[in-house]
Amino acid sequence: MTRPISHRAQAISPFHVMDILAQAKALQTRGHDIIHMEVGEPDFDTPKPIIEAGIKALEQARTHYTPALGLPELRQAIADWYQTHYKVKVSSDRIIVTPGASGALLLVMGALLDNGRKVMLADPGYPCNRHFARFVEAGGNAVPVTAESHYQLNAKHVEDYWDSQTSLALVASPSNPTGTVLTKTELAALSAAVKKQQGTLIVDEIYHGLTYDGFDAPTALEVDKDAFVINSFSKFFGMTGWRLGWLVVPEGYTEIMDRLAQNLYLAAPTMSQYAALAAFKPDTLATLEQRRQILQQRRDALMPALEQVGFKFAVKPQGAFYLYADCSAFLNEQIPDSMALSRFLLKEAGVAITPGLDFGLFEADKHCRFAYTTSEERLLEAADRIGKALNKS
Ligand SMILES: Cc1ncc(COP(=O)(O)O)c(C=O)c1O
């Protein structure tokens, strides 16, 4: 019997890092001490007030569906967050609670992309974006970006790479894998360039809150009322496993998103939505601020330690929890590319990292991503082990 698998599903490639992860797990089972720097989620647990609100929700048997657009109280709390944090007025009608930023990406691509259309994306960038586009029978228009544009799409890219099939541009600020942030001026220029092409801008703001050196990422809503903005409780709020995010849509798009949400997943998890009501409370925010400071310290410790070993950084990331490193100094006949380097470092140093290939094709062979989602002590130990392994080879 042949097993039917759609072309759509076949076209979606797995993460290369899964290979590394499987090997790392096998090594761990055999007693090896592996330092995980491939993981794209904070090591901190969900803040206590959120967990307590989740427990309370279960005790009160909040176990039924919520409206597809989300709990009205949570939509209002998110709208209030835009007012207090960004000084931007957004009506709660425009906020749609989703199962993670992933759910928001699915809604946006499903609602805005027709067959054969394309979404402009930065390469390197978050790999799932092009897969979401493929899933709705559309595609990615991947634009190679370098340190010159802070690894972000800019107005010039839009002018140079926009084609007749492209109708959307999607950026993440701070970005995964590079951690770079778009300023308000850059966002405004990007928005104007996209509008000039009659296109729509989508900004993934999932790493908002995790910015350093006094840098505060502006929301695209400050400069473009027609932009679609994606965010999540996963990263800054430490709620990856609760599967909760949100989408802010321009006026007039709520009804279509409601229809899609009803049909695709009915609603985001109820317990998680009640728990998230505690996410914007002062004591939660105080904990999150402490964590942000810890992440900044980790970045500041890890970056020079890796530079010392021989990795190069074309930019200092202002946000997220990733370092995107040029590893070409270590490539040779035995280790021809960053995937081989990732395998080598796992085997010889017991350190798991993510090869550049997971973020696109442009110069992917000579880049890798380090996530600083483990303690500073372990990060420094990892840099030390990496240095020893590479100097030996
Ligand atoms: C840029 C970016 N967008 C979206 C997501 C999806 O996150 P979630 O669905 O957990 O909110 C991730 C996860 O790593 C990400 O890095």
Nearest Cα residue to 172 out of 210, 206, 199, 147: 206
Return the ligand 1 atom nearest residue 102 CA: 9
Closest CA relative to residue 385, chosen from 309, 331, 313, 301: 309
Atom number in ligand 1 closest to CA 105: 4
Q: Is residue 312 classed as helix, strand or coil in its secondary structure?
A: strand
Atom of ligand 1 nearest to the CA of 99: 9
For residue 337, CA distances in Å to 16, 125, 204 come to 13, 19, 29
Closest residue to atom 14 of ligand 1, CA basis: 40
Is the domain of 33 the same as that of 119?
no
Helix (H, G, I), strand (E, B) or coil at 231: strand
**Same structural domain for residues 333 and 265?**
no
Residue 39: the pLDDT is 85
Residues at CB less than 6 angstroms from ligand 1: 40, 100-102, 126, 172, 176, 204, 206, 232, 234, 240, 245
Residues 6+ apart with CB under 8 A from 256: 111
Identify the pLDDT of residue 393. Answer: 55
At 72, the amino acid letter reads: P
Domain containing residue 89: CATH number: 3.40.640.10
Query: 340 in a domain, yes or no?
Result: yes
The rounded Å distance from CA 98 to ligand 1 centre is 12
Report if residue 248 sits inside a domain: yes
Residue 2 located in a structural domain: no
In this structure, are strands 228-232 and 35-36 parallel, antiparallel, or unpaired? unpaired
pLDDT tens track, the chain, 393 positions: 788 999 999 999 888 888 898 999 999 999 999 999 998 998 999 999 999 999 999 999 999 999 999 999 999 999 999 999 999 999 999 999 999 999 999 999 999 999 999 999 999 999 999 999 999 999 999 999 999 999 999 999 999 999 999 999 999 999 999 999 999 999 999 999 999 999 999 999 999 999 999 988 999 999 999 999 999 999 999 999 999 999 999 999 999 999 999 999 999 999 999 999 999 999 999 999 999 999 999 999 999 999 999 999 999 999 999 999 999 999 999 999 999 999 999 999 999 999 999 999 999 999 999 999 999 999 999 999 999 999 865
Task: Identify whether residues 294 and 274 lie together within a single domain.
Answer: no
Q: Are 283 and 49 in contact (CB under 8 A)?
A: yes
Phi and psi torsions of 302, nearest 5°:
-75, -40
Mutate which of 170, 234, 324 for ligand 1 pocket (most atoms within 8 A of beta carbon): 234
Same domain, 116 and 251: yes
Q: What is the domain range of residue 165?
A: 49-278
Same-domain pairing of 298 and 255 = no
Q: Which among 229, 260, 278 is the end of a domain?
A: 278
Boundary of a domain, candidates 240, 263, 278: 278
| Within a domain: 1 | no
Residue 78 falls inside a structural domain: yes
Tell me: do 267 and 167 sit in the same domain: yes
pLDDT at 215: 87
Tracing tokens 């698998």 back to the chain, one arrives at 5
174 with 300, same domain: the answer is: no
Q: Which two tokens stand for residue 87?
A: 């000084």
30 and 59 within one domain: no
Number of domains into which the chain is organized: 2
- Ligand 1 center–CA 334 separation, angstroms: 34
Residue 152 resides in a domain: yes
User: Are residues 184 and 94 part of one domain?
Assistant: yes
> What is the number of the ligand 1 atom nearest to the C-alpha of 245?
11
What one-character-per-residue DSSP string does 146-183 give? -GGGTTS--HHHHHHH--TTEEEEEEESS-TTT-----
Both 268 and 380 in one domain: the answer is: no
Q: Tell whether 38 is covered by a domain.
A: yes
The answer to the question of residue 321 being in a domain is: yes
Are 128 and 99 contained in the same domain? yes
Domain boundary among 250, 278, 306: 278
Closest atom of ligand 1 to CA, residue 172 = 1
274: CA distance to ligand 1 center in Å?
Answer: 21
Together in a domain, 174 and 232: yes
Domain CATH code at residue 320: 3.90.1150.10
